[in-house]
Amino acid sequence: MSQTHKIGFIWFIPLLCFLVSTSNAEIAAKPGVNYGQLGNNLPHPETSVELIKTLKAGRVKLYDANPKILKALNKTDIQVSVMVPNEIIIEIAKNQTLADEWISTNVVPFYPHTKIRYVLVGNEILSQPDNVTWFNLVPAMIRIRKSLVSFRLRKVKVSTPLAMDCLETSFPPSNGTFRSGVTESVIRPLLEFINGTKSFFFIDVYTYFAWVANPAEIKLDYALLEPGKTRYTDPVTKLVYTNLLEQMLDALFFAMRRVGYPNSRIFIAETGWPNGCDVDQIGGNIYNAATYNRNVVKWLTRKPARGTPLKPTVVFPSFIFALYNENQKTGPGTERHFGLLYPNGTSIYEIDLSGKTEEYKKALPAPTNNEPYKGPIWCMAARGVNVTALAGALSYACGQGNGTCDPIQSGGKCFRPNVLRWHASYAFSSYWAQFKKAGGSCYFNGLAVQTTENPSFGSCKFPSVTL
């Protein structure tokens, strides 16, 4: 998941899957989990695989082809998706030998004992600024598939996960349209490839980011898939929607219909809700995360399947994002709080990805941040961080802006106590106060945290951001 496609995007952007065979429907009724590895405190692969089993996940998606994880998945019944890194897509598009080497190294040694079912070429490519890679995406997918065929791995499908910004318009759903700049050059060839190889259109869909971009217009219960509370009627089709996910999915279906591929099979590559967030964000909490993920699992595993208002019989193969809270993900606090599990392996809340659990025993903590926080916020150095890294971040912050760190210079009002963490906290708060409106964040590679407790004392006044 990247942050690029989520902020500032209009509230409806979708995905979907049209399955008609009984076998496909049965497979699709087993939601899986995305296994990210951007953390320095995550369990070993063997432990992680056992935890995936306890979640009753039917499949797992990796963001690479980590051999230790693939080995740990050996002889399990968990279906696996591996990923070709974005950085080599252009080279693979031009070089069949490189494609062959990648498959030979990352798939052949593990197949079939590890149930690799999909090779995903890149991740959210159309959200990246490098448009040269955009136009090499489908050629690279063609070469990867040719490699799989040459190794007689015909059961392994090829696709690529896209973000919701592949759509130019998405509201109302009947107006769903792909981006004009990539429709003919990327989307149409991609859909042609997917349909020709009987693969899936992998796409990430987050009702959270649609809601947070427009909370005044979108009801929270509608984004959380809470049944029977809010409805929306498309003014053109008169189709009635009872949750935001279905509305987003149908927007994608209409976009596919517009380019001549109304029945392409869609795979939900990512969906989920953050269990925590920064003070200046809203709605990231355990209550909402548990509510959304439980509801979406229930929605995905309904029997008989009930798809969307436009496609009422579809079934959605899917992955929930993510296995762990990952402390090395960059960006806003939500990015580090999408896990079903803490890094120590304990559950953040009860969840059963099989959909068989109808009631959960433990009460959820009441949400406290569903409305925007109003008041000042300071940016402080986190406790227990690397001293060398903190000194480097202090130096960076002081080098920005106008007089950012003057009060912590010798003789300044905030020089005392002459302690690194204190000086860094002042520098971080001062930097954030100056540059937040220009995109500056209170993050500093994980060295900083937001607080509503005023650290000022005496004549030393810390700058703050006021919401």
> What positions carry a catalytic annotation?
124, 270
User: Torsions phi, psi of 287, nearest 5?
Assistant: -60, -50
- Read off the tokens for 199: 């693969």
- The number of beta carbons lying within 10 Å of the beta carbon of residue 4 is 16
CA dist 141 and 124 (Å) reads 14
Q: State how far the Cα of 390 lies from the Cα of 247, in Å rounded to an integer.
A: 45
Per-residue tokens: 1: 């998941």
CA 328 – CA 37 distance, rounded (Å): 9
Distance CA 268, CA 31 (A): 9
φ/ψ of residue 268, rounded to 5: -75, 100
CB distance 446 to 382 below 8 Å = yes
Return the DSSP state at 273.
Answer: -
CA of residue 427 relative to chain centroid, distance = 31
Judged on CB neighbours under 10 Å (0-12, 13-18, 19+), 295 is middle
The Cα 279–Cα 26 span in angstroms is: 42
Using CB atoms within 10 Å of the CB of residue 218, give its burial: 0 to 12 exposed, 13 to 18 middle, 19+ buried: buried
Q: Which residues contact 291 (CB under 8 A, 6 or more apart)?
A: 224, 225, 226, 273, 364
Cross-strand bridge partners of residue 329 = none
Closest by CA to 432, choosing from 386, 393, 387, is 393
Nearest to 348 by CA among 330, 368, 323: 323
Q: Identify the CA nearest to 121 among candidates 85, 80, 146.
A: 85
CA distance 248 to 289: 19
Best CA proximity match to 285, nearest among 208, 357, 170: 208
What is the CA 155 to chain-centroid distance, rounded? 27
Element (H, E) at 32: strand 32-35
Please tell me whether residue 259 adopts helix, strand or coil conformation: coil
Neighbours of 215 (CB within 10 A): 17
